[in-house]
Amino acid sequence: MSATTTFAETGQVPRRLRTLVRRAERQHLTKMLALMAPSVVFVALLFVVPIALFLFRSVDNVEIPKYLPNTVAEIGQWHEGELPPEGVYRALTEDLIALKGEPEAAVLGRRLNYSVPGFRGLVTRTVRQLPDTVPASARELLAGIDERWLDPVYWATLKQQSGRITDFYLLSAMDLKRGADGAITQVDETQAVFLSLYGRTLYTSVGVTVICLLIGYPVAAVMASAGPAAANWLLMLVLVPFWTSLLVRTTAWVVLLQTEGLVNKILIYLGIINEPLSLMFNTAGVFIAMVHVLLPYMILPLYSVMKGVSPVHLRAASSLGAPPVTVFRTVYLPLTIPGIAAGCTLVFVLSVGFYVTPALVGGPSDQMIGYFIAYFTNSAVNWGLASALGAFLILVIAVIYLVLGKVVGFDKLRVR
C-alpha cells in the first residue's frame, strides 16, 4: 500500500518502473528464444527449406528455357494455326546441335515427353541425325529428319512450356491439361488417374479413421477407468506394436492374410467359412493392416483425455436421474470430444500419407497417393509431378484441418 502511494505521489517513479519491467520482459524473451533456437534452426534447415524447395519443383520449368534458349527467344513470333517461321526452326536447330552428344538431350526429351508422348523419341532422333552446321533451310532439314516437325502440336507445346514457371505439373496432378489453344481441359478418361487417386486416398483414410475410432474408443474407455495396475498392462499392450518396425508388422500381415495364411486356416478350421477369403492384395487387406498399425494413435489421445474425465461427473449425472446411456450421450461423449478430434486428426493425417502398407498388402487399385509420389520420385524421376501431387495433398489436409477446426474448435484438435 505504501509503495503505490509513493508512486502516485512522485510522477517519475512509474516511468522508471515501466522501464524496469520492460527490461525484465526482454531478458525473459531473449532467454526463451535462445532455448528454442536449436530446434528452430534444425527444423528450418532440414525440414522447412527442403520442403519449400521441393514444392517449388511443382511449378519449376528449368529444362526448356535452359536447353533451348534460342527457341524460347524466337518462338514468340510464331502464331498458332500456321507453321512456325524459318527463324524459329533455325533457333531450334541451333539449340539441338549444341546438345549433340550431350546427356542433356535425354533430360530435355524426357521433360517434353511429359507433355506430348513421343516427344522424347523425336528429340533424340533429331539430335542424332543433325549435321554440325545449320543449312539454308532449317525447316526442310528438320522436316527431312522427322515429318512430325511439321505438326503444330509439338511447336505449341514448346511455346506453352517456354516460361520459367509452368502450371503443367499442377494441372496434371488434377487430371487437367492445356490444349493446343491454351485452354484448360480435362485429360482423356484413359489417362485420368489422379482425381480418383485422391478420392481413394481420402476414402481409405476416412474409413480407417472411423474403424480405428469405433474399435479404439471402448478400449481407451476401459483403460481410463481401470485400476492403475490393469491400466499399465493395457497401456503396454497398446504400445507393443511400437516396438516393431512398420515394415516388419506389415510383412507379418502378409503372412497372416494370404490365401493359405493363418487367418484363413483358422476360419476354415472353425467352420466359419468353406473357401479361403481373399484378404490380400485388395481393399480388405489394406484396411486390416492400416487399422492395426494406426490403432495406437487413436487410443492414446483418447485415453489421455478420458483419464481427465472425472468419474464424479458421471456419478453426478446418474444421481441427477440420467440412465447410463444418457450419461454417456450427454456427459461422457461430449467431454471426450477433444480426444476423438485429436485421435481422428492424427490417424487421418498419418493414413493419408501411408505408402508401405498399401504397397505390400494392397492390390494395384488400392494404392494411395503416397505410392505415386514415391513412384514419380524414384522410378519415373518426374519430380515436378511428384511435387505437385504432394502440394495438393498438403492442401487437402490443410483444408480438412481448417474445416474441422472451424466446426469443433482448434483448441480441441491438439494432441495432449
Which residues are at the interface with other proteins (CB under 8 A)? 310, 312-313, 315-324, 326-327, 330-331, 334-335
- As measured in angstroms, the least distance from the Cβ of 244 to other proteins is 38
CB 170 within 8 A of CB 388: yes
When the beta carbons of 101 and 227 are compared against other proteins, the nearer one is: 227
201: Cα separation from own chain's centroid: 10
When the beta carbons of 332 and 392 are compared against other proteins, the nearer one is: 332
CB 301 within 8 A of CB 380: no
When the beta carbons of 312 and 407 are compared against other proteins, the nearer one is: 312
- As measured in angstroms, the least distance from the Cβ of 411 to other proteins is 13
CB 379 within 8 A of CB 305: no
- As measured in angstroms, the least distance from the Cβ of 393 to other proteins is 34
- As measured in angstroms, the least distance from the Cβ of 413 to other proteins is 16
Q: What are phi and psi of 85, to 5 degrees?
A: -65, 165
271: Cα separation from own chain's centroid: 43
Place of cell 532422333: 125
Measured distance CA(254)–CA(280) in Å, rounded: 7
When the beta carbons of 255 and 316 are compared against other proteins, the nearer one is: 316
When the beta carbons of 239 and 320 are compared against other proteins, the nearer one is: 320
When the beta carbons of 59 and 314 are compared against other proteins, the nearer one is: 314
Ranges of beta strands (E only) in 13-98 are none
Neighbours of 219 (CB within 10 A): 17
- As measured in angstroms, the least distance from the Cβ of 402 to other proteins is 23
When the beta carbons of 6 and 330 are compared against other proteins, the nearer one is: 330
Sign of the Cα torsion 287, 292, 296, 302 reads: positive
When the beta carbons of 191 and 326 are compared against other proteins, the nearer one is: 326
User: What is the 8-class DSSP label of residue 365?
Assistant: G
Query: Cell numbers of 42, please?
Result: 534444425
Sign of the Cα torsion 354, 355, 357, 359 reads: positive
Measured distance CA(152)–CA(132) in Å, rounded: 25
Q: Which residues pair with 330 in a beta bridge?
A: none
Q: Which H or E run includes 177?
A: strand 176-178
Sign of the Cα torsion 79, 81, 86, 90 reads: positive
CA dihedral 118, 119, 123, 126 (to 10 degrees): 60
CB 408 within 8 A of CB 341: yes
- As measured in angstroms, the least distance from the Cβ of 310 to other proteins is 7
Neighbours of 298 (CB within 10 A): 30
Query: Cell numbers of 93, please?
Result: 536447330
When the beta carbons of 43 and 333 are compared against other proteins, the nearer one is: 333
Computed over its alpha carbons, how large is the radius of gyration of the chain?
A: 31
When the beta carbons of 26 and 315 are compared against other proteins, the nearer one is: 315
- As measured in angstroms, the least distance from the Cβ of 181 to other proteins is 58
